[in-house]
Chain A
Amino acid sequence: MIANILDGIVLGLQFGLLAAGLTLVYGLGGVLNLAYGQMAVISAIVITLALSAGVPVLLAVALGLFVGGLAGLILDLTILRPVYRLRGEPRVLLSLLLTLGVSFIIDGFLNWRYPLETLSLRIPGEAVEILGVPMRRGSLIASAITLVTFAALFGFFRYTSLGRAVRSVIQDQEGARLVGIYPHRMLRLILVLSGVLAGLVAVTRSMVTPVDAQSGLSITVFALIVTVVGGLGNVAGALLAGIILGIVSVIAANLIGTYISLIILLAAAALTILIRPAGLLGVKE
Chain B
Amino acid sequence: MLKVKSLSAGYQGNDVVHQVDFEVGSGEAVMIIGSNGAGKTTLFRAMCGLLVPSSGQVFFEGTDISGAPAERIARLGLRFVAAERHLFPQMTVHENLLLGANPYRPDPKTMSLILDLFPRLAERRRQHAGTMSGGEQQMLAVGRALMSKPRLLVLDEPSTGLAPLLAQAAYEALGALRKQGLTVLVAEQQVPLAMSFSERGYVLENGYIKLQGTAQELAANPIVRRAYLGVT
Contacts and interface: CB of A to CB of B under 8 A. Distances in A.
Interface of A: 161, 164-165, 167-168, 171-172, 174-183, 283
Given A174-B50, A174-B82, A179-B144, A168 B99 contact: yes
Given A165-B102, A171-B91, A178 B148 contact: no
Contact of B86 (A167, A178, A182, A183): A178
Contact of B98 (A164, A178, A183): A164
A180 B103 contact: yes
Given A172-B89, A175-B88, A178-B79, A164 B99 contact: yes
A196 to B, nearest CB: 25
14 contacts: A161-B102, A164-B98, A165-B99, A167-B90, A171-B89, A172-B89, A174-B86, A175-B87, A178-B79, A179-B102, A180-B71, A180-B74, A182-B71, A183-B71
Nearest to B106: A161
B18 to A, nearest CB: 25
Nearest to B80: A178
Contacts of B79: 178-179
A258 B100 CA distance: 51
A114 to B, nearest CB: 42
Given A164-B99, A165-B99, A178 B70 contact: yes
B87 A177 contact: no
A177 B50 contact: yes
Contacts of B49: 177
B91 A178 contact: no
Contact of A179 (B74, B89, B90): B74
Given A171-B88, A172-B86, A177 B98 contact: no
B70 to A, nearest CB: 4
Contacts of A183: 71
Interface of B: 48-50, 69-72, 74-75, 79-80, 82, 85-91, 95, 98-100, 102-103, 105, 130, 144-145, 148
Given A177-B50, A177-B74, A161 B98 contact: yes
A164 B71 contact: no
Q: Could you say which of B71, B79, B105 has the most chain A C-beta atoms within 10 Å of its C-beta?
A: B71
Given A161-B102, A168-B99, A179 B148 contact: yes
Nearest to B74: A180
Contacts of B48: 178
A164 B91 contact: yes
Given A167-B91, A172-B87, A172-B89, A178 B99 contact: no
A180 B86 contact: no
Contact of A178 (B82, B95, B103, B130): B82
A77 B86 CA distance: 29
Contacts of B100: 179
Given A164-B91, A168-B91, A175 B98 contact: no
Nearest to A179: B102
B63 to A, nearest CB: 15
Nearest to B73: A180
A283 B129 CA distance: 13
B71 A181 contact: yes
Contact of B102 (A167, A172, A174, A181): A181
Nearest to B95: A164
Contacts of A176: 71, 88, 99
